[in-house]
Structure 1
């Protein structure tokens, strides 16, 4: 091919000297992209190849934009685990052979954590999947068969751990429950902070919120309806979790989310600067010890608030931000509903495995499959 196609990949595919004058290693992914562009140019001409390359750049940008931050964090953390393993085993970092991947999962289960203990099988599985993604992003060929061999080794070793009496998983956390909600509501003081805390927990429970959901809400995202509230959840990680969740009035006024929300917003309007009541203001605001609004709540501050509220209420197990999400599906009121309705309300995919796990009874007696057989 006589013509050349200049793209961003060209520059990064060629070794350039660094500040000390040493050449940088070539970027495998960039070299692979450049080879693809050259094949396009041979087939369709330089102009078409350039447009196809721009379309690839757009696809990369879209993929980056729609990837949740916590997924990116997982990829980064898992790649660090892979780097530690590669250094430990003295294996090339940019090779994803069957043997390397099987050795990786074996190492993770035996001693992979920084304190020298092994990972739980679920954590090792997450690191394996994210590492394969990281390898492929760096131009490393990882075959499906090699990945499957590593996963089979991981599952087999996990069974061995169980047979040896090792249970490394913390298990499913205990979720929020109605009795706990009543205790939290009673413990909220008659202050702006108390009203916010009550509204935060009661509304969050009724739409199975993650910590980032109330943190991402604006005041205008929560609207009153004759039958309750409509909460526009726009911070979801999937198409299922971006939704309009409807919250009805509760029969018990002490734990009614609609009453709690309206009381909180009325008090905020009366005691805080008017800008905090505008539709584009955060729905849930941070409040200092003197009762002054200091800004919107972030996901971490929501989690800390839920923990502090539960400590104040002296519930047996201190809650976290995720307790609101995992507590609603197994509650008696939710379990009386259709499974699809539960999934839609909480933003799960219909027939979600994680949702089914949340809905299981803790003691497995009420829904025991053998009940009534004899």
Structure 2
């Protein structure tokens, strides 16, 4: 359901001038109808923008505001010099603690700030933005040449051996069964943290060959999908059996009301075994980290490890890239998916192996 969007003053003034031109060209009635269409377009844009994207825009604008306060530059100006100075400042000292951002974070902030400036009626030319991005890439190369690597790097991908260690570390409690089901099912449909947090009991259905998982929290048309998870040959690592066992224990210990299709598929559980409601993305991320620590994995998993793991393990097993994309909710031939099809050490599937 779309609602009216409050526009910033500069954009309102620009819209008013546009309506006046429409009135001169097409008449007052047509101008009113065109203005209503513009309002609808604004409302639709606001409705379809994911909450996490809005959060990123807001966070990046706060970084821009700090930069402008430090340098004395106006917030409502997106000149070539301002943008180049912004990326330089971010890499050198932009964080709250005085350290520089990782280039990937600086790139995200730059893109979001350009959007924020344009939303506030500030013109930012494509050439000026491109020059700022070119400066960022050049400075990032210099950091690498100086031996400085920033950021956490790519999250480690889940592996079959890691899943086995994790499963064996889970206690025979409701929390342990939930953890096992969360990770095994999440791996098999390449989940993001928000995906299991958004699943309702009715979104996961048991079918003769396994589970059908309706993922409705995706960020793109490809990631909103129904992923099918078949029974595994190895009962210990079977996501279907793990999910069934978790749900049966949940209903046995906490009542049939959790069988209602509108209740969360994965529930939060406190240290005393009490249900706290549905999981949220942060609690999913924390759970994956905690579970991997409990399993004593050499490198702890993050909330994105399951998603990376499906792509990389499936490729090693010879699965078709299109099938992987459809299962994980990527666009076919997605660059990010191809990046996730990583090799652990660079020796396997090496392009130079066996050439001479």
Which residue in 1 is equivalent to 2:185?
203
Q: Distance in 2 between matches of 1:149 and 1:252?
A: 54
Are 1:329 and 1:335, in contact at CA under 8 Å, matched by a contact in 2?
no
Q: Distance in 2 between matches of 1:314 and 1:120?
A: 29
| Length, aligned pairs only | 353
Give the 3 Å change call, closer, same or farther, for CA 169–308 of structure 1 in structure 2. closer
User: Is 1:306–2:306 an aligned residue pair?
Assistant: no
Name stretches of at least 5 consecutive residues in structure 1 with no aligned partner.
Answer: 1-7, 14-26
Name stretches of at least 5 consecutive residues in structure 2 with no aligned partner.
Answer: none
Per-residue deviation, residues 120-177 of structure 1 (Å, max 9, x unmatched): 1111111111111111111111111111111111111112222222211321111211
Q: Distance in 2 between matches of 1:225 and 1:258?
A: 10
Give the 3 Å change call, closer, same or farther, for CA 178–28 of structure 1 in structure 2. same
Which residue in 1 is equivalent to 2:132?
150
Which residue in 2 is equivalent to 1:21?
none
SS at match of 1:85: helix
User: Is 1:42–2:24 an aligned residue pair?
Assistant: yes
Q: Distance in 1 between matches of 2:271 and 2:115?
A: 45
Q: Under a length normalisation based on structure 2, what TM-score does the superposition of the two structures give? A: 0.95
Which residue in 2 is equivalent to 1:136?
118
User: Is 1:329–2:311 an aligned residue pair?
Assistant: yes
SS at match of 1:244: strand
Which residue in 2 is equivalent to 1:263?
245
Counterpart pick for 1:227 among 182, 199, 209: 209
Per-residue deviation, residues 5-54 of structure 1 (Å, max 9, x unmatched): xxx99x988xxxxxxxxxxxxx2111111111111111112221111111
SS at match of 1:229: strand
Counterpart pick for 2:232 among 250, 254, 257: 250
Per-residue deviation, residues 288-342 of structure 1 (Å, max 9, x unmatched): 3333323111111212222222222222222222211112211157641001111
Which residue in 1 is equivalent to 2:276?
294
User: Is 1:86–2:68 an aligned residue pair?
Assistant: yes
Q: Distance in 1 between matches of 2:41 and 2:130?
A: 28
Which residue in 2 is equivalent to 1:20?
none
Q: Distance in 2 between matches of 1:312 and 1:360?
A: 25
CA RMSD of aligned residues (A): 1.8
User: Is 1:350–2:293 an aligned residue pair?
Assistant: no
Q: Distance in 2 between matches of 1:145 and 1:337?
A: 42
Written as runs of structure 1 = structure 2, the 5 A alignment for 1:188-199 is 188-199=170-181
Are 2:87 and 2:106, in contact at CA under 8 Å, matched by a contact in 1?
yes
More divergent stretch after superposition (305-314 vs 214-223):
305-314
Q: Distance in 1 between matches of 2:207 and 2:268?
A: 26
Which residue in 1 is equivalent to 2:148?
166
Deviation at 1:238, TM superposition (A): 0.6
Which residue in 2 is equivalent to 1:111?
93
Structure of greater Rg? 1
Per-residue deviation, residues 229-278 of structure 1 (Å, max 9, x unmatched): 11000000111110010111111100100111111122222221211111
Which residue in 2 is equivalent to 1:181?
163
Q: Under a length normalisation based on structure 1, what TM-score does the superposition of the two structures give? A: 0.90
SS at match of 1:223: strand
Q: Distance in 1 between matches of 2:250 and 2:315?
A: 31
Which residue in 1 is equivalent to 2:323?
341
Are 2:92 and 2:101, in contact at CA under 8 Å, matched by a contact in 1?
yes
